[in-house]
Structure 1
Amino acid sequence: MDLKSGAKPFIGIRSQQKDTSPDGSYTFSYETENGISVSESGYPQAGPQGQTEVVQGRFSYPAPDGTPITIEYTADENGFHAQGAHIPTPPPIPEAIRRALAANPPGPDDEKYEKYDRQPFQQRFSGPVYNANPYRRF
């Protein structure tokens, strides 16, 4: 690559596949000359909140130091969930803190806050005080 001219090297696609079905399901994949590969499949599914999409996929690429990075994921009505060896995870809770949390009795205010958090949004923020100006539009 010639850094002075700003020209970027051409990276070709080695393989590419795409398939869609009338029922809404699909699959696609591709692989490039520089080691990037992607594959994904998905299909529509009826859920409690209406139609959702269920997706499973995987992508990989070489890190700048040459280490292969691979991510596998799923996405559905429960959100996006990725797995990969390089994704950081939180450290375990130290045993002393775990014991202290288990031994900590509930406080007098804990029940009050639980009730507040369980109130529907409309009950907490509705009424004339919340939006006193009827002409203001958001």
Structure 2
Amino acid sequence: MKCILVFACLLIALCLAAPAPDAEIVNQVSDVNADSYSYKFETSDGTKQEQHGSLKNLGPEDDALQVAGSYSFVDQDGQTHTINYVADENGFQPQGEDIPQL
């Protein structure tokens, strides 16, 4: 069951991060295990994403998926924007210069 959850999360992440139709994947690596996964890719337009996740034991009957990663893209002005993030039992926690600080 855990393997299916990890694999489903990986597929969703890859679909959401799919490159624009005119960009080609120039590098792609993935590794899926029963209790963890990792992947990274880079496209010809400068977009990059990498992520790794694993199950974290929260108690005798509770597991949570903890994920860490980053993504970056190049805007129309040629500037690269990068977001680093962690997602775990405390929610999604992004960090980057483009995210306003409260």
Structure 2: 5+ residue stretches without partners? 1-19
Task: Among all aligned residue pairs of Structure 1 and Structure 2, give the percentage whose two residues are the same amino acid.
Answer: 34
Q: Match for residue 25 of structure 2?
A: 13
TM-aligned CA deviation for residue 64 of structure 1: 2.3
TM-aligned CA deviation for residue 34 of structure 1: 0.1
Of the three residues 80, 94, 98, the one matched with 1:68 is 80
Q: Over residues 42-100 of structure 1, what are the superposed CA-to-partner deviations in whole Å (9 max), with x where a residue is unaligned?
A: 0011115721001000100012222110000001101110000121123xxxxxxxxxx
Q: Does 1:32 align with 2:48?
A: no
Q: Is the alpha carbon distance of 1:18 and 1:61 closer, same or farther for their aligned partners in structure 2, counting shifts above 3 Å?
A: same
TM-score by length of 2: 0.73
Structure 1: 5+ residue stretches without partners? 1-7, 91-138
Structure ranking higher on relative contact order (CA contacts 8 Å, 6+ apart) = 2
TM-score by length of 1: 0.55
Q: Does 1:42 align with 2:53?
A: yes
Structure 1 segments of 4+ aligned residues over 3 angstroms from their partners: none
TM-aligned CA deviation for residue 10 of structure 1: 2.8
Instruction: Give the strand-richer structure, 1 or 2.
Output: 2
- Distance between the aligned counterparts of 1:85 and 1:73, measured in 2? 12
- Distance between the aligned counterparts of 1:40 and 1:18, measured in 2? 9
Number of paired residues? 82
